Amino acid sequence: MMKRLTAAILSAALVLTMMAGCGNKSEETTGEEKAITVGTNSESGGLDPAGMIADTYLAYSVTALDELLTYNADGEIEYRAAESYEVNDDQTEWTFHLRENAKWSDGTPVTSADFRNTIERSLDPESGNGYSNYLFPIENAEAIYNGEADMSTLGLETPDDDTIIFHLSTPCVYFLDLLRLPVYTPSCAAYADAVGSGWDTNPETSVSNGPFYLAEYVPQQYFVLKKNPNYWNANAVSLDQITYKFFDSKQSMAAAYETGEVDVAPALLGTVMDEYEGKDDLVVTDAIATRYIYMNLDKVEVFRDVRVREALNLGINREELCQMVGSDVEPTVNFIAKYMTDKSTGEYFVSGAEAPFEENLERARELLAEAGYPNGEGFPVLTYNYPTLEMDMDTAQALQQQLKENLGITLELNAQELQVNYSERRAGNFELCRMNWTADFADPNTYLSMLLSNSTYNCSGIQDETYDKMVAESDVETDPVKRSEMMHEAEQYAIGEQFYIIPLYSMHSVNLIRPNIKGISQISATGALEIRGASVE
């Protein structure tokens, strides 16, 4: 019987993997050292929390960087870089006190200036950081990002090396959840000078304040983390070394596990469940993630017609799609991840309201005809961008077939390297683009905020004042039950009335982990594998 980690879920975006051996003999360990290797997707983005965030940073950060605080599986605060905090009555002033004994891996103190360094650099649009909009609750942050205010007006105080004070423009009921995002984590002011300068992948300058530090980085191959002797909680760290190795495909990652090259291979294809059924290696989790499609309203005129957007949503048979993609996916018409928990009820959030819409091929054809394209006649050929990952290639072919047969729409497929797909989407250079979003923090806002007019992840030109207002009002609502109702209404409006995206499916994460590796848990906010407490027996 397959093992299941007790905490919910895992995401393709935040997924981590462990593997034994990086293929470089000089990095192999001997003696009593405890080393594992963690596999991850092809290299994408860098290691700078103020830069472009993708899989590579996410794999690195959870073991090398300490956020101010986080939540454990029981929903209790776990202090990391901070040792305490206070908040005023109206929740607009948050004061954090850093650990006095916190040090970077080079032995220098971690100070408030290091947190300010990341925040200020992230507020430069040239940084390319998709998480910058999560700084906007801070006074004047959005105006600074838009070039309408000077950095000196930012609602951030660092009165001494050990104190950080955030002044928010309005209350933000999930502000503590935001602190685990890259833009709120520190980057050493002594080295982190600019995005793209190379400091982040240079072991001499890429210092860390977490359990491990960067010891080696070989582009397109692997990077090595070693135990940080200056970490404030070093006694709780069992492993001496973690190697993250890049893989271009899930098949090659699974093969590496089979040959003993890797110890943990995460987010594999669903076929692995059959191959390893009954073995202790198999660990299956429910991913807090949604695979969906962005329609570019800026670039494609037909997408500005809500009837077309609705027709595309109603004309896809997601059950049939999932059968073609694999047993590790299941259909969804929600944007908010199927396995995200509602804090007010303890149940899955999406179960608290009716689905935004139901598939209806007959109605889809009627809508397309009303929009002036009966049976797809005269409808422009659309190009669909997607990364060259097995699941996405299977999805693209299934979509191409369905749209042609169901609606008479021709879809041209454009497979791209993962890094290219990220960059082209962020630049708005697409007509239809595959998107996957894994929760970054334990609140539905991590999804709803993606479609806001000012969101740095809004790549498809959505500008809807009604929706913006709905989300803004939910952000300041302190009654958790009422707030959940407001967020359901916002999702219903965006997905079930305006049809701004095309949700496809949610996922199970199929992982292989050596049975002698213990202590792997999951980050409660995101479902990603938590390796800090891992040990090797």
pLDDT of residue 365: 98
537 found inside a domain: no
Whether the per-residue pLDDT at 46 is higher than 90: the answer is yes
pLDDT of residue 5: 52
Quote the CA–CA distance of 223 and 37 in Å, as a whole number. Answer: 10
341 found inside a domain: yes
First to last CA, the chain: 22
- What tens digit of pLDDT does each residue of 203-233 get? 999 999 999 999 999 999 999 999 999 999 9
Residues 178, 297 within the same domain: no
Q: Which helix (H) or strand (E) holds 86?
A: strand 82-87
CATH number, position 153: 3.90.76.10
Question: Is there a contact between 312 and 495 (Cβ–Cβ < 8 Å)?
Answer: no
Quote the CA–CA distance of 472 and 441 in Å, as a whole number. Answer: 17
Whether the per-residue pLDDT at 343 is higher than 60: the answer is yes
Quote the CA–CA distance of 472 and 487 in Å, as a whole number. Answer: 10
Of the candidates 406, 218, 215, the residue with the CA atom closest to the CA atom of residue 314 = 406
DSSP string, 100-141: TT-B-TTSPBP-HHHHHHHHHHHTSGGG--TTGGGGTTBTTH
76 found inside a domain: yes
Of the candidates 68, 66, 70, 87, the residue with the CA atom closest to the CA atom of residue 78 = 70
- What tens digit of pLDDT does each residue of 318-334 get? 999 999 998 889 999 99
Last residue in a domain, options 165, 185, 205: 185
Which pLDDT band, with edges at 50, 70 and 90, does 360 fall under? very high
273 found inside a domain: no
Task: Look at residue 289 and give its three-state secondary structure.
Answer: strand
Quote the CA–CA distance of 114 and 78 in Å, as a whole number. Answer: 21
Which pLDDT band, with edges at 50, 70 and 90, does 189 fall under? very high
Q: How large is the average pLDDT for residues 510-514? A: 93
Last residue in a domain, options 170, 185, 200: 185
59 found inside a domain: no
Residues 297, 177 within the same domain: no
Residues 317, 181 within the same domain: no
377 found inside a domain: yes
Q: Considering only 5-14, 197-206, 232-241, 407-416, which range has the smallest mean pLDDT?
A: 5-14
pLDDT of residue 21: 34
Q: How large is the average pLDDT for residues 102-130? A: 97
pLDDT of residue 68: 98
Whether the per-residue pLDDT at 31 is higher than 90: the answer is no
Count Cβ atoms below 10 Å from residue 183 Cβ, excluding itself.
Answer: 24
Q: Tokens 């007790």 belong to which residue? A: 6
Task: Look at residue 53 and give its three-state secondary structure.
Answer: coil
362: domain range?
A: 289-506
192 found inside a domain: no
Burial class (CB in 10 A: 0-12, 13-18, 19+), 107: exposed
CATH number, position 324: 3.10.105.10
- Where are any strands of DSSP class E within 342-480? 382-387, 411-416, 432-438
Q: How large is the average pLDDT for residues 143-170? A: 97
Quote the CA–CA distance of 528 and 224 in Å, as a whole number. Answer: 20
Number of domains in the chain: 2
Whether the per-residue pLDDT at 11 is higher than 50: the answer is no
Count Cβ atoms below 10 Å from residue 354 Cβ, excluding itself.
Answer: 10
Which pLDDT band, with edges at 50, 70 and 90, does 16 fall under? very low
Whether the per-residue pLDDT at 6 is higher than 60: the answer is no
pLDDT of residue 424: 95
Question: Is there a contact between 225 and 242 (Cβ–Cβ < 8 Å)?
Answer: yes
Question: Is there a contact between 487 and 514 (Cβ–Cβ < 8 Å)?
Answer: no
446 found inside a domain: yes
Residues 178, 320 within the same domain: no
Q: How large is the average pLDDT for residues 250-268? A: 93
Q: How large is the average pLDDT for residues 31-37? A: 85
With a pLDDT cut of 90, the percent of the chain lying above it is 80
pLDDT of residue 202: 98
Quote the CA–CA distance of 439 and 528 in Å, as a whole number. Answer: 9
Q: How large is the average pLDDT for residues 430-435? A: 98
- State pTM to two decimals: 0.85
Q: Tokens 């939910």 belong to which residue? A: 474
pLDDT of residue 26: 33
